[in-house]
Structure 1
Amino acid sequence: MPGTVAGTGAKRSTWLPDQHGAWAMLAVPFLAGTFLAPRPGWANAALFAAWLLGYVAAFHAQQWLRLAVRGLRSARRHRLPALVSTAAFAAVAVPLAVLHPWLAAAGLLAAPFVAVNTYYAWRGRERALVNGLAAVVPACGMLLVAGRPGGAEPGELWRPAVACLLYFAGTVPYVKTMIRERNSTAYRAGSVAYHAAALAAAACLSPWLALPFTAYLARAAALPGRGLRVPVVGAIEIACSLTLLTTLLLVF
């Protein structure tokens, strides 16, 4: 986290999670579900605000837990952001749940995955592969949730939701091959094998999805080991995420 920057930037980094890849995973499925629905409206905007606030609240609560169980004083910097973002989340989410009671059921379905992430935060193993994959599932499931206020039934949007799941699940091992596991041949082989399988599965959802997923496979095979800097890796993933969103909106 760039918390050493003075002034407003430092304050912003204290409140906004620095997990840059997470923001794309939060936004792309939600926006796809919103704009694939027949009648997106104000409820989608409120739901998006609740979704982002819920992520911020969970992030700070989990970071506080991770540091507090180790007796580190740095846990205190997450306490106020956790409390404020939780209150803001409740202020938006509770009225939404009253107007749309089915949202409570959606929240219950996401709870086990949040529990997994909390467990790994408690153990200090947030970079574990399972933890990353557990975060992907509810994020992609939000495509189905975001579509319903606009009049889409979950059965109408399952294919774009699965496409999001295929892509974002693949980013977990791929990013590891670019940064933390860049010297692991096993991770590289596993990432390429996954992307090859994801390409075949995506093509079954729609032949047009073979185009972006071929590019995802190519980057998983060609880029590890080239010594790309982290900002470059991030920029490539932003481009891949935007390509997925555009493809979903055009195809479905």
Structure 2
Amino acid sequence: MQQHNSAATTKPAPVRLRPIALPIEHGGWSMVGAPIALGLWLAPSPAGFWLSLAALGAFLGRQPLKLAISDYRRGKRYPRTVWAERFVLGYGAITLIAVGMAWWYAAFSFWPPIILAVPFAVVQLFFDLRKQSRALLAELAGAIAISALAAVIVMAAGWTLWSALGLWLLLSLQAVTAIVYVRIRLRLARNEPAHRAPALILHLAALVTVAGLLSIGWVSWPVLLVFALLFMRCWIGLSPRSLATPTPLVGVQEVIVALLVVVGIRFGLS
């Protein structure tokens, strides 16, 4: 009888809020941080600030939304489900309010890049709902979608659509090459089958693209320099000697690389 009462009064394990409220993919922070930093650095404005806050709300809402939908599809309702719903509503409210404030303060239309980014975001959401967030196509689509944020911010400050799209292109090139490089590097470090060639070819294509933009006067030498550094980072990082680098350190290196790209683009477009 005492054992029964003890079991009946056992409290459920407390819900860990951090895995619900915050993304588990640490690389996502640099993906969303780079376009925010670059956009506000190039064209600061009140509307740009609110758009950045809206993007953070949407970015943070993705993790609890995935958990809630996963529980719904199982037909289950756990304590974490309730918290996931609360965080979705909270982040969603922040996003909606921030978008409204951005629309109020913006002197120029910023919707075209958002509309163009929607298909990429839908692709990522499709994979999220199928629990395949780590699929290559999902990561690439998500990176391209979030890179559009820089274009949205600068358009809100008065940039033309074509100039904003060029900025989106540069950030997308950096994000896409980084994803492919890191995936191949980690597979090689785990002695899994992988080829270095796709990463090197992709980095070379990005470098050639930037060289083309330089030739028509759209960017200057700092942009070409940082993309040349990206190529060298890929070449050295995929060498057998570099594969022993601990994974957390690789992540730190990629954050530093993303910051260098932001600085290069900032001074290469002035």
TM-score of the alignment, normalized to the shorter chain, above 0.5: yes
Superposed counterparts of 1:72-91, under 5 Å: 73=78, 76=81, 77-91=83-97
- Does structure 2 conserve the Cα–Cα contact (< 8 Å) formed by 1:65 and 1:121? no
Q: Report what 1:4 is aligned to.
A: none
Distance 1:174 1:66 in 2: 30
What is the aligned-residue identity percentage? 23
CA distance 1:155–1:86, change in 2 (3 Å):
same
Q: Report what 2:8 is aligned to.
A: none
Superposed counterparts of 1:91-110, under 5 Å: 91-97=97-103, 100=106, 102-103=109-110, 106-110=113-117
CA distance 1:188–1:251, change in 2 (3 Å):
same
One of 54, 59, 68 as aligned partner of 1:55: 59
User: Can you list the C-alpha shifts for 1:60-116, whole angstroms capped at 9, x where unaligned?
Assistant: 213432454245648615322112111221122234335559445544433322221
> What SS is found at the alignment partner of 2:244?
coil
CA distance 1:238–1:246, change in 2 (3 Å):
same
- Quick one: higher RCO (CA 8 Å, sep 6+), 1 or 2? 1
CA RMSD of aligned residues (A): 2.6
Superposed counterparts of 1:238-249, under 5 Å: 238-249=255-266
Larger deviation: 21-30 or 165-174? 21-30
- Does structure 2 conserve the Cα–Cα contact (< 8 Å) formed by 1:178 and 1:233? no
1:26 aligns with 2:43: no
1:164 aligns with 2:164: no
CA distance 1:181–1:67, change in 2 (3 Å):
farther
- Does structure 2 conserve the Cα–Cα contact (< 8 Å) formed by 1:66 and 1:121? no
Distance 2:154 2:66 in 1: 29
CA distance 1:129–1:233, change in 2 (3 Å):
same
CA distance 1:63–1:199, change in 2 (3 Å):
farther
Q: Report what 2:225 is aligned to.
A: 211
User: Can you list the C-alpha shifts for 1:136-158, whole angstroms capped at 9, x where unaligned?
Assistant: 22222222111022222222344
- Does structure 1 conserve the Cα–Cα contact (< 8 Å) formed by 2:30 and 2:255? yes
1:233 aligns with 2:250: yes
Q: Report what 2:4 is aligned to.
A: none
User: Can you list the C-alpha shifts for 1:145-190, whole angstroms capped at 9, x where unaligned?
Assistant: 1102222222234433222111111111111123256435544221
Superposed counterparts of 1:182-221, under 5 Å: 182=189, 183-184=191-192, 186-206=194-214, 207-221=221-235
Q: Report what 2:218 is aligned to.
A: none
Letter of the 1:150 counterpart = A
CA distance 1:152–1:36, change in 2 (3 Å):
same
CA distance 1:102–1:151, change in 2 (3 Å):
closer
CA distance 1:71–1:217, change in 2 (3 Å):
farther
Gaps of 5+ in 2: 1-13, 215-220
Letter of the 1:219 counterpart = R
Question: How far apart are 1:234 and its partner, in Å?
Answer: 1.0
One of 60, 69, 73 as aligned partner of 1:69: 73
- Does structure 1 conserve the Cα–Cα contact (< 8 Å) formed by 2:200 and 2:235? yes
Aligned pair count?
Answer: 242
Distance 1:248 1:27 in 2: 15
- Does structure 2 conserve the Cα–Cα contact (< 8 Å) formed by 1:33 and 1:142? yes
Question: How far apart are 1:36 and its partner, in Å?
Answer: 2.1
Question: How far apart are 1:132 and its partner, in Å?
Answer: 0.8
Gaps of 5+ in 1: 1-6
Distance 1:187 1:81 in 2: 40
